[in-house]
């Protein structure tokens, strides 16, 4: 982000002159920032925000006002007033200063943070300033996150010095809204959780066998037919015999709602990456447009979980025309550089028996159905590249040969990420072993709501290092980050999503922000004591660990 009209201030004494140490034990209760900053030191003393405190900004760009207004909105919810915003040159002994600076050391997302008798100074690029505000909020009493006014709340901040830069560029959380649909207001709340934890990527899983969730103007039946299933399985998918609730279920996000969510996220410097599944996980779309399948249907939107053999026909030109039309509308809605195309769990049974698919294999000189999937993905990639977008997909897109410019999201362990990184492709690590928040948080599953299975405790999430030891330092540079995944087969309500996401999202935020050498689980647990109070103030339904 650049603005040639800015007066760029770089205070050398701030950048290089400060000596940073760990916080003293006495201040651990008041200084408990999640994720942990790169460097932090503390001094005796506190600064108090009151109605006379100003917010001073170094320039009048929309991005400066965005962060100032964000802080004011949070403040107003909790204490019932906002601070006056002025130009930074205004004299004042009690101020929160948002100062634009840029340095290669800080990059766009790093920031410097200082509290003393004169107030708070947050220095950085616009994104860095926003993350500095997140740290400021966490230095205030937990009630600052409440939407109930606390008239006598003392907004006292300890004297601290912080230098903070994230470890990874992709710091994400995923949410599946297809197995279960969640209203826009909860999507915004979920995005607020990401902002609170300095995460910058919201991976929005929008199409599935069990429901299509994004309005596409050119194909109205996706909203009318594909967005709804006739009923939903009761209990676990492995139950025999399966039982169903006999209730029609579904929902669609209109394009206006999509724009609303994207805008809301952008105001928090969060990129929304949409996922449009192909060639598998496409039964909902095939129900409305069965001619895009190998068999011609008919189909019903799936009412149970698991994998279907019904996938898009790779030998039918109408399939690619449909997907190109869909993706043309998608790219207009999402500014993200990446479009997630899925690519996972696509059985090849129908392709093996399909004359059109076999003819495609022969015509393109392919060896088998795996190379046919590579052809499918590569063709979609070329189209999205022509629209100025890059593709990212689950690690199955490696099978049959990786599309030239594709990024890989490694979920079936580390192997896919290692292979992609060694081939100089960008990688987001998200293995089931550490990143699947649909797994149980305790081994005492009888006391827990129904989940898909598995066991992923908080400590294991926290222990995750996204850069596999098998990679050289040069290869490790292709690991651009990691994310937690929330698949919602067994999460019918937003309360249950929160319960499964927290506190594991907090641990994941530290995995992707804080360098490995700078964190321990014991220290994290200690800082989480106050973080739980913040979650309480928000009204989060989180899993409570038993001491």
Task: Give the residue-averaged pLDDT of 132-160.
Answer: 96
pLDDT at residue 545, rounded to an integer = 83
Question: In this structure, are 345 and 490 located in the same domain?
Answer: yes
Domain holding 454, by residue range, is 170-514
Tens of pLDDT, residues 17-76: 333 334 444 445 568 999 999 999 999 999 999 999 999 998 878 888 999 999 999 999
Where do we find the tokens 């004494």? 13
Query: Tell me: the pLDDT tens digits for 177-233?
Result: 999 999 999 999 999 999 999 999 999 999 999 999 999 999 999 999 999 999 999
Rg (CA), the chain: 25
59 plus 89 within the same structural domain: yes
- Mean per-residue pLDDT for 101-108? 95
- Other C-beta atoms closer than 10 Å to the C-beta of 96 total 25
Q: Do both 180 and 297 map to the same domain?
A: yes
User: Do both 117 and 217 map to the same domain?
Assistant: no
Give the chain's domain count: 2
In this structure, the answer to whether residues 159 and 174 fall within a common structural domain is: no
Is residue 409 located within the same domain as residue 317?
yes
534 lies in some domain: no
Check whether residue 61 and residue 175 sit in a common domain: no
Residue 528 falls inside a structural domain: no
The two three-digit tokens of residue 7, written as one number: 């007066």
Q: Mark whether 347 and 424 lie in a shared domain.
A: yes
List, for residues 288-327, the tens digit of each pLDDT value: 999 999 999 999 999 999 999 999 999 999 999 999 999 9
25: domain CATH number is 3.30.379.10
Specify the pLDDT at position 59: 82
Q: What is the pLDDT of residue 334?
A: 98
In a domain, 1, yes or no: no
pLDDT, averaged across the chain: 93
End position of a domain, from candidates 98, 132, 164: 164
- The answer to whether residue 303 is domain-embedded is yes
Domain boundary among 132, 164, 196: 164
Given this model, what pLDDT does residue 64 score?
Answer: 85
- Per DSSP, the three-state class of 361 is helix
289 within some domain: yes
Same structural domain, 340 and 415: yes
Q: Is residue 537 part of a domain?
A: no
Q: Are 218 and 329 in contact (CB under 8 A)?
A: yes
Mean pLDDT of 75-80: 97
Instruction: Tell which of 131, 164, 197 closes a domain.
Output: 164
pLDDT tens-place string over residues 478-523? 999 999 999 999 999 999 999 999 999 999 999 999 999 999 999 9
Nearest to 74 by CA among 149, 139, 159: 149
Q: Are residues 134 and 197 in the same domain?
A: no
**5, part of any domain:** no
Residues linked to residue 244 through DSSP beta bridges, in sequence order: 233
Query: Are residues 268 and 239 located together in one domain of the fold?
Result: yes
Pair (489, 356) in one structural domain = yes
């Amino acid at each position: 982000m650049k603005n040639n009209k800015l007066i760029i201030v770089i205070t050398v004494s701030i950048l290089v002159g400060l000596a940073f140490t760990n916080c003293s034990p006495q201040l651990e209760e008041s200084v408990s920032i999640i994720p942990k900053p790169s460097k932090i030191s503390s001094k005796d003393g506190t600064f108090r925000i009151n109605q006379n405190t100003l917010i001073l900004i170094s320039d009048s760009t929309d991005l400066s006002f965005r962060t100032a207004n964000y802080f004011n909105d949070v403040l107003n919810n909790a204490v019932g007033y906002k601070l006056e915003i002025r130009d930074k040159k205004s004299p004042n002994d009690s101020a929160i200063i948002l100062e634009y600076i840029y340095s290669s050391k800080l990059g766009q997302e790093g920031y410097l943070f200082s509290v003393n008798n004169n107030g708070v100074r947050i220095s950085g690029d616009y994104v860095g300033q926003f993350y500095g505000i997140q740290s400021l909020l966490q230095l205030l009493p937990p009630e600052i996150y409440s939407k109930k006014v606390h008239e006598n709340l003392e907004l006292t901040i300890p004297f601290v010095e912080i230098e903070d830069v994230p470890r990874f560029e992709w710091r994400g959380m995923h949410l599946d809204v297809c197995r279960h649909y969640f209203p826009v207001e909860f999507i915004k709340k979920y995005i607020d959780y990401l902002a609170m934890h300095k995460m910058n990527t919201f991976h929005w899983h929008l199409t599935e066998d069990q429901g299509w969730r994004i309005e596409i103007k050119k194909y109205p039946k996706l909203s009318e037919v594909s967005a709804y299933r006739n009923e939903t399985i009761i209990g676990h998918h492995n139950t025999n015999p399966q039982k169903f609730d006999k209730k029609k279920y579904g929902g669609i996000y209109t394009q206006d709602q999509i724009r609303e969510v994207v805008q809301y996220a952008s105001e928090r410097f969060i990129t929304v990456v949409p996922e449009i599944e192909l060639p598998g996980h496409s039964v909902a779309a095939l129900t409305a447009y069965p001619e895009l399948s190998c068999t011609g249907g008919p189909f019903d939107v799936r009412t149970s979980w698991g994998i279907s053999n019904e996938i898009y026909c790779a030998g039918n030109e109408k399939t690619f025309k449909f997907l190109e039309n869909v993706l043309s509308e998608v790219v207009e809605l999402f500014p993200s550089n990446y479009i997630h195309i899925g690519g996972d769990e696509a059985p090849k049974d129908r392709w093996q028996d399909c004359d059109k698919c076999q003819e495609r294999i022969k015509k393109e000189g392919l060896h088998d159905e795996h190379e046919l999937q590579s052809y499918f993905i590569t063709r979609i990639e070329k189209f999205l590249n022509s629209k100025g977008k890059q593709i990212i997909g689950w690690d199955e897109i490696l099978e049959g040969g990786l599309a030239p410019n594709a990024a890989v999201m490694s979920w079936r362990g580390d192997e896919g990420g290692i292979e992609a990184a060694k081939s100089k492709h960008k990688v987001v690590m998200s293995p089931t072993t550490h990143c699947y928040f649909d797994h149980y948080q305790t081994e005492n599953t009888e006391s827990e709501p129904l989940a898909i299975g598995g066991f992923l405790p908080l400590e294991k999430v926290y222990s995750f290092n996204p850069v596999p030891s098998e990679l050289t330092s040069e290869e490790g540079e292709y690991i651009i980050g990691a994310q937690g995944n929330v698949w919602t087969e067994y999460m019918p309500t937003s309360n249950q999503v929160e319960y499964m996401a927290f506190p594991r999202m907090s641990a994941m935020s530290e995995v992707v922000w804080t360098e490995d050498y700078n964190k321990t689980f014991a220290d994290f647990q200690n800082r989480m004591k106050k973080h739980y109070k913040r979650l309480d103030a928000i009204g989060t339904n989180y899993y409570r660990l038993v001491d």
